[in-house]
Structure 1
Amino acid sequence: MTFFSCEKKRSKIIKGDIFINETGLYYSKSINIVLKEYNDGSLTYGVSDKDNKLIYQQSVFISFAKNQDWLIYVDNQENIWFYSSDIQTTNVLMRDSLNNYKLKNFCKESIKVPEKLLKELSNSSKDFCFTKFDSVSD
């Protein structure tokens, strides 16, 4: 299922590093990102290349709540960072030299987080990697 649309009035150009915090279509020369809100207030996002070939789409069955801590950040290399406290997700779509994307977990794989993003994550949660939830005591 793909939900990309051509709704021009809510389209925004990705220039440099940006935080995506409103629903709509975001695009650059090489990628499109759609952030969609459903009737129940839940959100999902998807990413395609410039030809609308699907790169990544978050499952509609694992949507995140707009009232929880979440963010989507696109860095200068067009890596796409996603954080959600609601569904305890810390993903990044890393772009390689061939412009292919690979989904990684930036906490579990110890990927260096851009400083601007790290500052924002630290403001929203002291433990954005959910380590306190990973440990189970006997």
Structure 2
Amino acid sequence: MGKITLIIALFLLISCDKNSNFARDNNDKKSGVYVKKNTFINSPGLYYFKDIDILVKEFKEGTIVYGLFDLHSKLLYQRDINNSISNHMKWTIYIDDKGEIWFYNADYQETNVFIVDGKKGIFIKDSNKLPPIPVELSKFIKN
């Protein structure tokens, strides 16, 4: 009987981790999608990745802006609304196998990356300073 109780307790402990499919906060009325590494985001919405919330907002005219927030809704990075991208053009947010968050859009032919660094992060916009672009993202850009 003791082994069964231990197994059930262990199962409950493992299944209740913060990245499970349950809401992050029972008082939080926002609904979003939990994403994992090697995931493409191609539509507006709220996405959860580890300790980061990714919000992609589409306006009436089809322009897109996005922002990254920590667990306490503190802004980590936001695309400038005056430099928004079009939802009618090719764009994506890609989370690679290292947990780096990549941004690509055809409007400006730009590729950027947000590298999580502790509780904050580093946003790299300069193409000369980017780490190697992941193979999956390169394939997306070329197609």
- Tell me the TM-score normalised to structure 1 length: 0.75
Q: Does 2:121 align with 1:101?
A: yes
Question: How many pairs align?
Answer: 116
**Equivalent residue for 1:70?**
91
Q: Which amino acid in 1 is paired with 2:103?
A: F
Q: Is the 8 A contact 2:64 2:87 kept in 1?
A: yes
- Label 1:78 to 1:118 Cα distance change in 2 as closer, same or farther (>3 A): same
Q: Is the 8 A contact 1:19 1:72 kept in 2?
A: yes
Q: Deviations over 1:73-92 (max 9, x none)?
A: 11233211111121232111
Q: Deviations over 1:14-73 (max 9, x none)?
A: 122210011110002310000100011100100011221110011111110111121111
Q: Does 2:96 align with 1:80?
A: no
What percent identity do the matched residue pairs reach?
Answer: 34
**Equivalent residue for 1:130?**
none
**Equivalent residue for 1:114?**
134
**Equivalent residue for 1:23?**
44
- Label 1:107 to 1:122 Cα distance change in 2 as closer, same or farther (>3 A): farther
Per the TM alignment, residue 110 of structure 1 is displaced from its structure 2 partner at its CA by: 4.6
Structure-1 separation of matches of 2:29 and 2:114: 23
Per the TM alignment, residue 108 of structure 1 is displaced from its structure 2 partner at its CA by: 2.2
Structure-2 separation of matches of 1:110 and 1:75: 14
**Equivalent residue for 1:7?**
30
Q: Which amino acid in 2 is paired with 1:22?
A: S
SS of the residue corresponding to residue 51 of structure 1 reads: coil
Gaps of 5+ in 2: 1-27
Structure showing greater radius of gyration is: 2
Give the ranges of 4+ consecutive aligned residues of structure 1 lying more than 6 Å apart after TM superposition: none
CA RMSD of aligned residues (A): 1.8
**Equivalent residue for 1:48?**
69
Q: Which amino acid in 2 is paired with 1:57?
A: Q
Q: Deviations over 1:111-134 (max 9, x none)?
A: 2111111111122xxxxxxxxxxx
